[in-house]
Structure 1
Amino acid sequence: MTDTKPAAPGALPADFDGTYDAWYKAVAGVFARVQKKDVADVPLDIWKKLIKTTYDGIDVRPLYTRRDELAEASVPGKFPYLRGTRSADSEAAGWGVAETFGSTGDVKAANALLLGALTNGATDIIIDLENGLKASDLQALLEGVYLDLAPIRLKAGADVAEAAQALYDLVDAAGAADKSVIELQAAPLTAGFDDSATVSLDEAIALAKAAKDRAGSVRAITVDAVSLSNQGATDAEEVGFALAAAVEYLRKLTDAGLSVKEAAHQLSFRYAATDDQFAQIAKFRVARALWARVCEVVGDTEDAVAPQHAVTAPVMFSQRDPWVNMLRSTVAAFAAGVGGASDVEVLPFDAAVKGGLPGTSRGFAHRIARNTNLLLLEESHLGHVIDPAGGSYFVEALTDELADKAWAVFTDVEAKGGFIAATEDGTIQSILDKSYEAQRNDIAHRVKKVTGINEFPNLSEKPLPADLRVEPAGVRRWAAEFEALRNRSDAFLEAKGTRPQAGLIPLGPLAKHNVRTGFATNLLASGGIEALNPGQVVPGTPEFDEAAKAADIAVICGTDAEYAESGEEAVKALRAAGVKHVLLAGAPKSFEGAANAPDDYLNLKIDAAATLADLLTTLGA
């Protein structure tokens, strides 16, 4: 890790290289069987084909061993807090269970939900005053809450000053100021990236100056990296930009008269946790350690620990098949908790749907989200082990490399003059746009899988009502492009009574065409197109002619050998039957030089989103 790379590990066992060579040969043997080659013809470095490169340019290898070992990092609870901020605290094991209340705008319902949540495992309260509730509603919303026991964070947008004063008044009236833990969550430097409502930088500084003199723990400013994640930031960019924003806040706060210690205490961090498990574990470890290094540089290692809030990443939530979001959130919450986050907010599984999934109560959605955290903590006992991923060759190596990448992002922003300068000249937005496009392109090509969206879609699920087929503001969701295609399909269904359809033309017996008919069906469904499969058909037969008449688009499915034998005949027969658009499941090379070739091909290399959009247009959707 940057400036913290430990000394080399001890000597490797005498037989280590021989064992490694045996692994090389075993991998080569697997490739030989798959490629139907003699193992002598497969190079021993074929294993490199298994390397996956992250969006930050980190190569993830298939095997990590003692050769990758790093000397043990500092113990948990000690600077630079790579392994966590606590050392041995079994009474408060694990992370906080955070939950947001007030999003529906009904103060009475929000209070009931809040009290029920606190009774059933929630520990950290987030108050939403951006969706109808106001600062004047805080007293009713917090009725029955012990303000000296539950940490409270505000989500008040441009009204944070008014909300802060109302909360202060309640805490003071309850005699709970000395033990209160409050965060105002002003985020002026990052809010503009996803159009989040907030106060100006000057107002945030004023709030911090007032907060430093209050009893208890009050932090005015949140470095909200979720706003950056929402726009496509990679893990290194999310951490690096967050560090740059935090340093900018430190400068402004100290310029306003706060000491470095006072300024550092006014900051907290908020990060998005995706379902990329090991990367997220590494990210939270890296973010903590690098902030500690920044604090060391500015001369305040005593306050090198700042709250590190985690929220299940809005970018990964789908509107279609939203139940899958429960699985994504479970992995994300696991990773954030294991990575050492102070608390984790699991968003309701239908958070991407405006107002929630029709027919699903808010109580149920919140309970499932909260219980995801509680299952990990209370049943899986994850909180009883500090830094359980520590010592893993892979996690430690990934942490080390990610730290270097994030530090490079941070220093590049500093070289531009700091976060504000890099924002104003468009540098940060340009980087976010580039990263977003890389991810969008991989999803469009189905290289990056999004279950239920571009892979294994459920075309038979009940469509969302038309007024709910809207994109959440400020979030570049992974599923958005394919869900836009599904929206077109739903509108077609409502107007025509059927889905847009394509007819499959399976050549050869089931055992030979099944792989490609399955592939084509899955691909078409991800764009909202229903595949009609008549079973094996032979050109020149009534069954073939019947299948050809089923839809304006036909997809020929079979093996390459079958294409060589009857593919041209099938294409010719389909055109004679009046099929407007003939596709083939396979590669263009299977029809190379053919007089009668398909119009296009469906395979793993195509831009599936663009192809499906064109097919929907052809079908009138």
Structure 2
Amino acid sequence: MRSRRTGTTRRGVVFTESAHLTGAHRLDSGTAVKAATTTDGQDSLTVTTTQNEREHPLNVPEKSPGLPEDFSQRQDAWYKSVAGVFARVQRKDVADVPLDVWKKLIKTTYDGIDVRPLYTRADEFSEAAAPGVFPFTRGNEVEDAQRAGWGVTETFGRDAVENAAAVNKQILHALYNGTTDLVLDLTGELTPSDLGDMLSGVLLDLVPLRLAAGAETPAAALELYKLAEAADNPDKITLELSCAPLTATVDATDSVDLPTAVELAVEASARPGDVRAILVDGVAFSNQGATDAQEIGFALATGVEYLRALVDAGLDTAAALRQISFRFAATDDQFAQIAKFRAARQLWARVAEVVGHAEAGGAPQHAMTAPVMFSQRDPWVNMLRSTVAAFAAGVGGATDVEVLPFDAAVKGGLQGTSRSFAHRIARNTNLLLLEESHLGFVVDPGGGSYFIEDLTRELADAAWSIFTGVEADGGVRSHQESGALQSALDESHEAVRADVAHRRKQITGINEFPNLAEKPLPADRRVEPAGVRRWAAEFEALRNRSDAFLEEHGSRPRAVLIPIGPLAKHNVRTGFATNLLASGGIEVVNPGQLVPGTDEFTEAVKDAEIAVLCGADPEYTATGAEAVRAARAAGVGTLLLAGSPKSFAEAEDTPDDYLNMTIDAAATLAGLLETLGA
């Protein structure tokens, strides 16, 4: 039975709702890719599928049989062990705890994928295809020992510099110290005419180049072609023009339009060496809040849209595939990112197979540490985030990894920190993973992990579903024009924002363990990066208000703590309140244990605009109501309690509000700042 067509193109490919991906192997004999004819008489491709494939969209290999004879008993023993832990924590008899209590440990991703606490041989699949072999799940290629690992990418021209000669000096220094791949940014002061000076002394046949030139890409391409023709081995040059018109509209970056990009691609396809014109920029989707599956799915749809345009322009399908490369964001969610890069390669390989050129499905896959995860406050923590992200992208098989400087989210960089230091730390993050940890000498080190293999397949399934949904809507341009794409990104962004606001998603230095004593950012550097919905933005906006208050009044907005009971009993909640308020830029005054009815109590909280009652639940029961009355009598404006409302369920005198793990911390702190005049 022929599946319903959900997209049309002349001389292109028609993807169907059931045109699903293979797993480690190609589609079985029950699925065929057949020539078809569109209504206008042009050649096209369509996909027919069996009922089995529709029920098993990835058509993965069968799970490996032959579990040990005692497998069930050992699994049951684990269930009982987990139940025992829950019993101790909940102070119950283990017999009263169900054996499936382990399911409470399941974590669900933003893509709706359940991550289980344990993966076993029962989750094992037969071995995937080798690295460098279709569907490239385990990597596009296997390098020799001298070129093992991923490329170390660095961008030049983005920072404020004096001239092209200064950039050239930076480039040569970086190449000498471990950088292998260059991105040349001409979106600032530098122009295409500066390229010759920027690349003076660079051996173009040894250093892969990428452009970030926006509307200046055609002129920059001409300059680079001149330099390439003068090189010793022009047929060995690797050059990408990085035209990204379809994703530029997503995060408002500069780019040529689609016809210009296609024209450049047609020209590039005829040049010697590996010259590509089109970049499918998944980072643009990530910047606007895409989940991992959305980033892959929307990138696939974008790649297919480019493929259609290139074929319509006269390129054969194989040549069109070789004009496309991908870039994805890498966050600090380690295992999810490993799976993301593996799944993305597998899916694009499937697209290449459907159009009849599986061998051309191994497109370059660039990685960038995700701008959404970078913080402006306590930016040193970004070094840790970037290390995990670079590890994940490299282990996941990215062609190259660009680690952004740790202060990339701060306009002009962190004050008092040299650009050379920031770039050196970013470069060395890659080099430590490659040269000291030797990760590059192992191809697909995550391969064979029950968890990673399962997550890769789950993520691929979710992404393919998103891709076919976009195709059903007429393709990515139609999906954008209808507003559906932006709505999907808005929804995903809001889910993350809400988790950060409620501190379910913890960001060190921002909504957890903030350093209120760090030097404030200058006012001219408290600027939100364009086109990026950063995770930390909402809390950092609160910190900006606190900094402005500090500049005007000489001190930060303050709240007074009211610890009741001995230190051992109130310390947990005074620490919680201090940490929570600091994440909004509110400083606390902790006078130590206070006893309602004493002069010390009255003096400590007298006329405080905001006070927070902190103690253990038994103390709240014993003296909480009295403390509330005493605070009111002392003139406290807003009285909060560190704990839950049930602590005062039977009391006549209650606090105004409560601080606990369930509140929308960002909204609560915003209100408190307003109360304090910040």
TM-score range (shorter-chain normalised) is: over 0.9
1:348-388 C-alpha deviation (Å, 9 max, x unpaired): 00000011101111111000000000000000000000000
SS at match of 1:448: coil
In 2, Cα distance between equivalents of 1:40 and 1:467: 62
Report the equivalent of 2:69: 14
> How far off is 1:109 after superposition?
2.3
Give the counterpart letter for 1:170 in structure 2.
L
Give the counterpart letter for 2:434 in structure 1.
L
In 2, Cα distance between equivalents of 1:404 and 1:3: 7
8 Å Cα contact 1:554/1:579 also seen in 2: yes
SS at match of 2:211: strand
Report the equivalent of 1:30: 85
User: Where does 1:330-409 land on structure 2 (aligned, <5 Å)?
Assistant: 330-409=387-466
8 Å Cα contact 2:368/2:402 also seen in 1: yes
Give the gaps of 5 or more residues in structure 1.
Answer: none
> How far off is 1:550 after superposition?
7.1
Determine if the alignment matches structure 1 residue 219 to structure 2 residue 262: no
> How far off is 1:28 after superposition?
1.2
8 Å Cα contact 1:260/1:300 also seen in 2: yes
Determine if the alignment matches structure 1 residue 567 to structure 2 residue 624: yes
Report the equivalent of 1:283: 340
Deviates more, 1:288-297 or 1:590-599: 590-599
Report the equivalent of 1:96: 151
Change beyond 3 A, Cα 1:611–1:256: same
| 1:84 counterpart (120, 134, 139) | 139
Report the equivalent of 1:426: 483
In 2, Cα distance between equivalents of 1:540 and 1:502: 21
Give the counterpart letter for 1:429 in structure 2.
Q
Report the equivalent of 2:654: 597
Report the equivalent of 1:65: 120
1:135-157 C-alpha deviation (Å, 9 max, x unpaired): 01111111111111111000001
Give the counterpart letter for 2:658 in structure 1.
Y
Superposition TM-score, scaled by structure 2 size: 0.91
Superposition TM-score, scaled by structure 1 size: 0.99
In 1, Cα distance between equivalents of 2:63 and 2:536: 43
In 2, Cα distance between equivalents of 1:109 and 1:357: 21
Give the counterpart letter for 1:165 in structure 2.
L
| 1:588 counterpart (617, 637, 645) | 645
Report the equivalent of 2:104: 49
1:259-298 C-alpha deviation (Å, 9 max, x unpaired): 0011001000000000000000000000001100000000
> How far off is 1:174 after superposition?
3.1
Report the equivalent of 1:538: 595
In 1, Cα distance between equivalents of 2:200 and 2:142: 35
Give the counterpart letter for 1:519 in structure 2.
F
User: Where does 1:432-471 land on structure 2 (aligned, <5 Å)?
Assistant: 432-471=489-528
In 2, Cα distance between equivalents of 1:498 and 1:88: 58
| 1:501 counterpart (518, 533, 558) | 558
Report the equivalent of 1:327: 384
SS at match of 1:272: strand
8 Å Cα contact 2:562/2:613 also seen in 1: yes
8 Å Cα contact 2:607/2:636 also seen in 1: no
SS at match of 1:491: helix
In 2, Cα distance between equivalents of 1:407 and 1:429: 18
SS at match of 2:117: coil
> How far off is 1:25 after superposition?
1.3
Deviates more, 1:605-614 or 1:46-55: 46-55
In 1, Cα distance between equivalents of 2:488 and 2:178: 40
In 1, Cα distance between equivalents of 2:247 and 2:654: 53
> How far off is 1:4 after superposition?
4.2
SS at match of 2:259: helix
Give the counterpart letter for 1:119 in structure 2.
Y
Report the equivalent of 1:192: 249
SS at match of 1:453: coil
SS at match of 1:190: helix
> How far off is 1:162 after superposition?
0.7
Determine if the alignment matches structure 1 residue 616 to structure 2 residue 673: yes
8 Å Cα contact 1:104/1:132 also seen in 2: no
Quote the sequence identity (%).
69
Give the counterpart letter for 1:319 in structure 2.
Q
> How far off is 1:105 after superposition?
4.2
SS at match of 1:125: strand
Report the equivalent of 2:190: 133
1:104-162 C-alpha deviation (Å, 9 max, x unpaired): 24223211111000000000000010111110111111111111111100000111111
8 Å Cα contact 1:105/1:133 also seen in 2: no
Report the equivalent of 1:314: 371
Give the counterpart letter for 1:289 in structure 2.
Q
Change beyond 3 A, Cα 1:457–1:67: same
Report the equivalent of 1:524: 581
Report the equivalent of 1:293: 350
SS at match of 1:189: helix
In 2, Cα distance between equivalents of 1:87 and 1:174: 27
Give the counterpart letter for 1:364 in structure 2.
F
1:563-605 C-alpha deviation (Å, 9 max, x unpaired): 0000000111111111000000000011113211000000000
8 Å Cα contact 2:181/2:207 also seen in 1: yes
In 2, Cα distance between equivalents of 1:105 and 1:485: 29
Report the equivalent of 2:542: 485
Determine if the alignment matches structure 1 residue 155 to structure 2 residue 212: yes
In 2, Cα distance between equivalents of 1:265 and 1:85: 13
Report the equivalent of 1:302: 359
Q: What is the number of residues matched between the two proteins? A: 621
Give the counterpart letter for 1:203 in structure 2.
T
1:410-440 C-alpha deviation (Å, 9 max, x unpaired): 0000011111111111111110000000000
Change beyond 3 A, Cα 1:177–1:88: closer
In 2, Cα distance between equivalents of 1:22 and 1:548: 55
Determine if the alignment matches structure 1 residue 181 to structure 2 residue 238: yes
Give the gaps of 5 or more residues in structure 2.
Answer: 1-22, 24-56
Determine if the alignment matches structure 1 residue 256 to structure 2 residue 323: no
In 2, Cα distance between equivalents of 1:268 and 1:87: 18
In 1, Cα distance between equivalents of 2:287 and 2:218: 25
SS at match of 2:246: coil
Give the counterpart letter for 1:155 in structure 2.
A
In 1, Cα distance between equivalents of 2:159 and 2:244: 23
